[in-house]
Amino acid sequence: MSGNISTDSESKSQTSRKFAYQFTLFRFALHPEKASVENSKWRSSNIYMGHAALTDKKNHKVYQQERFSRDGLALAGAGKKDNGLLQFWLNDWQMQSTVSEELFPLTLAVKADDFSLNMQLKPVKPLVLQGNLGLSQKSSKHASYYYSYTRLASKGKIRIGDKDYDVSGNSWFDREWPTSSLSENQQGWDWFALHLDDGSDLMIYQMRKKDGVKDNYSSGILVNSQGKSEFIQAQEFQLKPGN
């Protein structure tokens, strides 16, 4: 989850205060033979990692925090509650649906050491399947299932230190689950998602080989203002590092 948000202008002569935020929750499955003792309440099948960040554009400051936890004793996890609401959490960091059996509208609540986020998120464009009908190929042997809600109307409150800000803007939601991150000849990737001024949205995913050359399995997607998507192949884009 990531987004650009801003405060409402206090007067017509003032510009709004601009922020950007990001929240990511990773799940790493454990090998069954390496799991904890069978009868222990700490027994875990998964390790969760959460990362949250908030950028204060006016003051050129970035706040971030990272957490890890096993899913034993319900310290972290993802699932459906008895009332049908969906919940994804790591300790007190959480995302939760507000309508039974539906993902959206979604609330996001993160309280870090230096900042906090409390957002309400609702899609204004339909779900988009990444890659080939949701299968995003990363190499000859590895792929992921991958979908996105590229534009979410976002509203809520953030806190930096002891100061609160009422904010609104747009966010981007991704859900991806892969076989593996990299193949033997790959060393990393470049990924970004953009909300463009004409109402369209762009995502580029560039896989990098160990020699620095772009892998042909790189790809992207362009979603127009009406929600119609167009797949972008590796040969159709080029990234150049700037200052």
CATH number of the domain that residue 114 is part of:
2.40.370.10
Domain count, the chain: 1
Does residue 242 lie in a domain region? no
241 within some domain: no
Chain length of the chain: 243
Structure tokens at 132: 């080939």
Residue with the larger pLDDT of the pair 47 and 243: 47
Element (H, E) at 136: strand 135-137
Q: Which of 62, 63, 57, 55 is nearest to 16 (CA)?
A: 57
The yes-or-no verdict on residue 216 having pLDDT over 70 is yes
DSSP string, 59-92: TTEEEEEEEEEESGGGSEEEEE-TTS-EEEEETT
- Is there a contact between 191 and 204 (Cβ–Cβ < 8 Å)? yes
Q: Is residue 177 part of a domain?
A: yes
Q: Cβ(146)–Cβ(130) under 8 Å?
A: yes
Between CA 98 and CA 82 the distance in angstroms is: 13
The answer to whether residue 38 sits within a structural domain is: no
Is 93 a member of any domain? yes
Could you identify the residue written with the tokens 């950007």? Answer: 20
- Residues 6 or more apart whose CB falls under 8 angstroms from that of 3 comprise 20, 21, 22, 119, 152, 154, 169, 170, 171, 172
Dump pLDDT digits (tens) for 91-149.
999 999 999 999 999 999 999 999 999 999 999 999 999 999 999 999 988 999 999 99
How many angstroms separate the first and last alpha carbons of the chain? 26
pLDDT at 6: 93
List pLDDT tens digits, range 15-53.
789 999 999 999 998 876 655 556 777 778 899 999 999
Binned at pLDDT 50, 70 and 90, residue 14 comes out as low
Domain contains 39:
no
Name the pLDDT band for 11 (thresholds 50, 70, 90).
very low
Distance CA 231, CA 29 (A): 30
> Does residue 154 carry a pLDDT above 60?
yes
**pLDDT tens, position by position, 56-85:** 999 999 999 999 999 989 999 999 999 999
Q: Which residues pair with 62 in a beta bridge?
A: 55
Around Cβ 131, how many Cβ atoms within 10 Å?
19
Residue 85 lies in a domain: yes
The helix/strand/coil state of 202 is strand
Average pLDDT over residues 201-210: 95
pLDDT higher than threshold 80 for residue 181: no
Residue 243 included in any domain: no
148 torsion bin: left (phi>0), alpha (psi -120 to 50), beta (else): beta
Domain of 74 in residue numbering reads as: 2-33+44-236
